[in-house]
Structure 1
């Protein structure tokens, strides 16, 4: 069954309300864009999804914030291995949650020995988790009666660490804290810095941290969210945004952006082409190298992906992985088509991007379905990624045949 048929069937069967798919190759032979379905499942709203419809980007925001950090690094404004609490004092006081008292259920906290560095924040090795993903942090929040925090980073994510910085791997708020460092060093909001240093160089106009800030974000151009009923499998419509977060009052660099996927894709293509519009080549290369600081952190990552059911993407093949600046990095050669150096990440609403410089391709799958890691959606993500590699392979084969004919060879 072709990808187009699978997508049409998925919309018809209620697997997804719609999807935007984008892909390109460094050779320029692959330039793929496809859109199917509707922007909302609400009764009476029949608007088709468009390539430039605005999506809740969720953790796709992390790549944008990482690029901001790397720009400041290459300008000499920060070190990747220095204590970041000098810029964000909250990060100096976070202790380590080791458990809960058997007597009264109170949290057991230990002082930590190691500082948090930018490398820790960017690679999820700081110990800073998400209370909406980790049962220990959820229990801590409930015990301390912080169920309704304000929508600011210092309040929502000022939580204990789950391990010593560098001594494990925990997916969480590290890159959100990295965004606060960017704000401290630049004297700007993260959104303002991104606008000048990421968006304008690439001609991006439709990404912002607040829907009200987008110059072209009328409600009719913003995708609603859909949530799958675990019992029936049916999708129910809901408003844009992430229901497990409060209304955000400042720029959350790990979770908070909204934007059109065609604009976001300009970032992926720029990185693939290594065109130096955002970073110098030597800095971009750091994004495709393993960056976890210790073996304990690498072991933690691999343990987290022994059961990857929490993560959005197709993890059906070999999982030879490390964390790089910007995403999850393939560090082996066993995968049937992803090459060593394949970089990817995802967003809670079942969004997924990848850049494979070895194969010369990048791609973006976008839909708006919760909860994360929907198994039916992940099958479509896998089919899309394979389709991109097949397109690149076919184009390379056609180019090779053309060259052979031009050279008079067979």
Structure 2
């Protein structure tokens, strides 16, 4: 659940006047800015592309509407990855996401590596490594002592790291396997969209800070943007189309057709949900983890496992049970 941390860090830079949410940040992302839009594949299987026309902005990056995708979620990008062959510089953002765009920025939605690019923007603008910036500006102010991208540099955290578990068959138990590759394996730099190691007790601190709006992380007017719809009409339509398959994302996603994207996660954009209020912000993580912040109801929460693959069918109903019980105990059902 790395992306929320990176989103908050980026908005801190907006507050400092180092960048705006709507300026073109292509100059800060040369590797990403040169990517062209995938248009298909030739008879020989080679990908065909065209040049991008629209600018790349922080708002589009933060809302997964800048054109990027993930090769494990897009068959076309998976095909490009296979054709590309082994990475030339493994463990880096530029190499891991050396893929074409799926669409013109601002004209669709695809869950993506765009927050990893936001991490690169943060490093360029601050002159700091993402780990160092977050430690000084997010983790230390909140007393988060068990959070890092590089657990090998923190033996006291590494000693308490829980092994990842895997479920090969939905009907079978999970099996721990500390040696199997995960999203943190082999990373040489901090990825803004994945790879953060933390504890549930640490993670709730960032959620609670944003819930009560204590301004330890963001000014009130900046934090408010996290909880406001940000997608263009075309991008929202694209997101809603994906939400027709609620199993594509980790979490509990009723078919309300009332979703948008804030600057830090998916946003409830209506009143049909039985207990989530309009403006509630939510998302999760690949190892079957979720978080939510509902300012109107006055609740936040985070639930975690160390289970792969994402959207495990045995864990999925627990997300709903945990969240619903949180609202119940708060007297908001």
Alignment TM class, shorter chain as reference: over 0.9
Decide which of 191, 200, 207 is 1:252's aligned counterpart. Answer: 191
Q: Please, what TM-score do these two structures have when normalized by structure 1? A: 0.78
Partner in structure 2 of residue 185 of structure 1? 125
Partner in structure 2 of residue 208 of structure 1? 148
Deviation of 1:317 after TM superposition, in Å, equals: 5.1
Partner in structure 2 of residue 347 of structure 1? 285
Decide which of 78, 87, 93 is 2:19's aligned counterpart. Answer: 78
Decide which of 103, 108, 114 is 2:54's aligned counterpart. Answer: 114
Decide which of 283, 294, 297 is 1:359's aligned counterpart. Answer: 297
Deviation of 1:234 after TM superposition, in Å, equals: 2.7
- Work out whether residues 170 and 314 of structure 2, in 8 Å CA contact, stay in contact via their aligned partners in 1: no
Deviating runs (4+, > 6 A) in structure 1?
A: none
Partner in structure 2 of residue 198 of structure 1? 138
- Work out whether residues 290 and 331 of structure 1, in 8 Å CA contact, stay in contact via their aligned partners in 2: yes
Report whether the alignment pairs 1:369 with 2:310.
Answer: no
> 1-side partners of 2:256 and 2:262: how far apart?
18
> 2-side partners of 1:277 and 1:354: how far apart?
19
- List runs of 5+ in structure 2 lacking aligned partners: none
- Work out whether residues 222 and 240 of structure 1, in 8 Å CA contact, stay in contact via their aligned partners in 2: no
Report whether the alignment pairs 1:335 with 2:273.
Answer: yes
- Give the strand-richer structure, 1 or 2: 1
Change (3 A) 1:90 1:291: same
Select the structure of larger CA radius of gyration.
Answer: 1
- Work out whether residues 317 and 335 of structure 1, in 8 Å CA contact, stay in contact via their aligned partners in 2: no
Partner in structure 2 of residue 386 of structure 1? 324
Q: Which moved more, 1:243-252 or 1:92-101?
A: 243-252
Change (3 A) 1:108 1:317: closer
Change (3 A) 1:289 1:241: farther
Change (3 A) 1:205 1:246: closer
Residue deviations 1:101-156 (CA, integer Å, cap 9, x gap): 1x200001111111211111100001111112211111001112146750000111
Residue deviations 1:194-221 (CA, integer Å, cap 9, x gap): 00000111111110001112352133x1
Deviation of 1:183 after TM superposition, in Å, equals: 0.2
Deviation of 1:246 after TM superposition, in Å, equals: 4.8
Report whether the alignment pairs 1:165 with 2:105.
Answer: yes
- Work out whether residues 129 and 172 of structure 1, in 8 Å CA contact, stay in contact via their aligned partners in 2: yes
Decide which of 256, 259, 267 is 2:206's aligned counterpart. Answer: 267
Partner in structure 2 of residue 99 of structure 1? 40
> 2-side partners of 1:179 and 1:66: how far apart?
9
Deviation of 1:159 after TM superposition, in Å, equals: 1.1
- Work out whether residues 100 and 106 of structure 1, in 8 Å CA contact, stay in contact via their aligned partners in 2: yes
Deviation of 1:160 after TM superposition, in Å, equals: 0.4
Report whether the alignment pairs 1:226 with 2:192.
Answer: no
Residue deviations 1:350-378 (CA, integer Å, cap 9, x gap): 00000000000001001111110112201
> 1-side partners of 2:139 and 2:180: how far apart?
22
Report whether the alignment pairs 1:295 with 2:233.
Answer: yes
Partner in structure 1 of residue 182 of structure 2? 243
The one of the two structures with greater contact order (alpha-carbon pairs below 8 A, sep at least 6) is 1
Q: Determine helix, strand or coil for the equivalent of 1:108.
A: strand
Partner in structure 2 of residue 144 of structure 1? 84
Change (3 A) 1:212 1:265: same
Superposed CA RMSD = 1.7
Q: Determine helix, strand or coil for the equivalent of 2:2.
A: helix
- Work out whether residues 35 and 99 of structure 2, in 8 Å CA contact, stay in contact via their aligned partners in 1: yes
Q: Determine helix, strand or coil for the equivalent of 2:156.
A: coil
Count of residue correspondences: 333
- Work out whether residues 61 and 114 of structure 2, in 8 Å CA contact, stay in contact via their aligned partners in 1: yes
